């Protein structure tokens, strides 16, 4: 009989980081993934570590994002110590460039919004912005510096987290598809695989990204849906870009400081089901945004294009915590922020499973917010 303290469904950055945390707490942990680990959204991500909200719906996420960013330096050190591998973590900030609309008014709104949320953000005169980043183009009308933001190389981080979890004692099994939850009376007591094997556990952590909702019985708690994002990597020989550069239309994330330099550019936000397809319209959109931000990239070589499926949710917030079924815990729906939120998610789930307390208020992210009882209550409130 396969018996563990915890079974984690899904070996992306979320499942892997939770496994690393729980294994260090001396629990017997197994992570099951139906394919190679870290080959879905976590592999596709750009790697911006930005707690700033990208729309009003994301404002409740800011405290969790800030907490996770603060955990990052220790998290990457621990991953590096356990795995011996690099993660490409970089501090140094991001520059937000405004190219359209009433730039000065948008800049004041941006700065005020950030300050109101406790995030550092200062207006950056364009001549200073260009001294810091000569690549910034003539279309720029205003700019702001977000000095605390960081970035990471998601593929390097993913490989390192996987190795770290394994060296801390977690068992990682690829090619094992979870077909359903296994119950013992009302309690969740493990999972059943598509080949009929049962993995018994005291706790099951659901971390299957946008596919979480496809596991029978999970959808009422985790109505995740895929949101496609297309990306491209460019190699250019100009002066290396040092900061993450963002505009209303897209972003650039530098990888390394050597010349020729690789810059990752993105991304689209598409409701295209589970189809992972790169389209000419998608690539045209992200390249034109990149070329507007940094026109010399028009001469860069396109070295790779790819896409991934973000785990979206109806309210754009993650799905974290226990439900009304004992032994079942959720860690999914991280949408556009799963790389940023991995350290805080791992800490929250680790604390909940071992101590039944957590370091910050995670009620806004409870899976129970989607269940009919709560939907009815909010409808009559
Ligand atoms: C283009 C793009 C850019 C992004 N940029 C950023 C960024 O800059 N910063 C940031 O913070 N976030 C970013 N994200 C978001 C981030 O990548 C995701 O939120 C995060 O990777 C989600 O991790 P996950 O482990 O939940 O899901 P995934 O990485 O998708 O992993 C889920 C895993 O579950 C497995 N699985 C599914 N069903 C089953 C089953 N039944 N049985 C067994 N295994 C199963 C899958 O095979 C997969 O390996 C980006 C995403 C995309 C697509």
Atom of ligand 1 nearest to the CA of 179: 41
Tens-place pLDDT, residues 240-288: 999 999 999 999 999 988 999 999 999 999 999 999 999 999 999 999 9
Pull the structure tokens for residue 189. Answer: 């007591």
Measured in degrees and rounded to the nearest 5, phi and psi for residue 336 equal -90, 5
Distance 376 CA to ligand 1 centre (A): 31
Q: Cα(94)–Cα(132) distance, rounded to whole angstroms?
A: 11
Distance 47 CA to ligand 1 centre (A): 12
pTM for this structure? 0.97
- Helix ranges (H only) for the chain are 13-24, 41-44, 62-83, 103-116, 126-132, 154-167, 280-293, 338-355, 372-380
Q: Cα(208)–Cα(274) distance, rounded to whole angstroms?
A: 14
- Checking DSSP bridges between strand 261-266 and strand 225-236, what pairing results, if any? antiparallel
Mean pLDDT over 197-209 rounds to: 98
- Mean of per-residue pLDDT scores for the chain: 96
pLDDT value at 344 more than 60:
yes
Tens-place pLDDT, residues 131-182: 999 999 998 999 999 999 999 999 999 999 999 999 999 999 999 999 999 9
Q: Which mutation among 69, 230, 329, 339 tests ligand 1's pocket best, with the greatest number of atoms within 8 A of CB? A: 339
What percent of the chain is predicted at pLDDT more than 70? 98
DSSP letter at 1 equals -
Q: Report the residue count for the chain.
A: 381
Atom of ligand 1 nearest to the CA of 177: 42
Distance 13 CA to ligand 1 centre (A): 7
Question: Residues with beta carbon inside 6 Å of ligand 1?
Answer: 9-15, 32-35, 39-42, 44-48, 177-178, 207-209, 211, 215, 229, 231, 266-267, 308, 310-311, 332, 334-340
pLDDT value at 350 more than 50:
yes
pLDDT at 373: 73
């Amino acid at each position: 009989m396969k018996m563990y303290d915890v079974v984690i469904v899904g070996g992306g950055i979320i499942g892997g980081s939770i496994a690393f945390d729980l294994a260090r707490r001396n629990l017997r942990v197994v992570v099951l993934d139906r394919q190679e680990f870290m080959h879905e959204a976590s592999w596709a991500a750009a790697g911006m570590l930005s707690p700033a909200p990208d729309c009003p719906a994301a404002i409740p996420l800011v405290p969790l994002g800030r907490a996770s960013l603060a955990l990052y330096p220790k998290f990457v050190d621990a991953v590096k110590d356990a795995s011996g591998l690099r993660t490409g973590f970089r501090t140094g900030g991001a520059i937000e460039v405004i190219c359209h609309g009433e730039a000065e008014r948008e800049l004041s709104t941006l700065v005020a919004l950030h300050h109101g949320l406790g995030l550092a953000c200062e207006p950056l005169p364009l001549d200073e912005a260009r001294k810091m980043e000569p690549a910034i183009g003539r279309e720029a009308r205003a700019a702001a510096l977000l000095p605390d933001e960081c970035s990471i190389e998601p593929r390097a981080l993913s490989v390192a987290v996987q190795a770290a979890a394994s060296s801390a004692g977690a068992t990682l099994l690829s090619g094992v598809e979870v077909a359903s939850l296994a119950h013992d009376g009302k309690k969740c007591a493990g999972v059943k695989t598509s080949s009929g094997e049962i993995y018994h556990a005291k706790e099951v952590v659901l971390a299957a990204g946008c596919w979480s909702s496809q596991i029978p019985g999970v959808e009422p708690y985790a109505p995740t849906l895929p949101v496609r994002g297309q990306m491209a990597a460019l190699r250019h020989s100009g002066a290396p870009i040092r900061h993450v550069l963002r505009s209303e239309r897209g972003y650039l994330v530098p990888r390394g400081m050597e010349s020729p330099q690789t810059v990752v550019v993105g991304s689209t936000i598409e409701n295209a089901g589970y189809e992972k397809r790169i389209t000419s319209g998608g690539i045209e959109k992200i390249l034109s945004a990149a070329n507007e931000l940094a026109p010399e990239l028009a001469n860069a070589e396109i070295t790779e294009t790819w896409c991934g499926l973000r785990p979206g949710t109806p309210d754009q917030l993650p799905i974290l915590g226990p439900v009304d079924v004992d032994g079942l815990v959720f860690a999914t729906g991280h949408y556009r922020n799963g790389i940023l939120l991995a350290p805080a998610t791992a800490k929250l789930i680790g604390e909940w499973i071992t101590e039944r307390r957590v370091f910050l208020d995670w009620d806004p992210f409870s899976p129970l917010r989607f269940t009919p009882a709560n939907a009815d209550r909010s409808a009559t409130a």
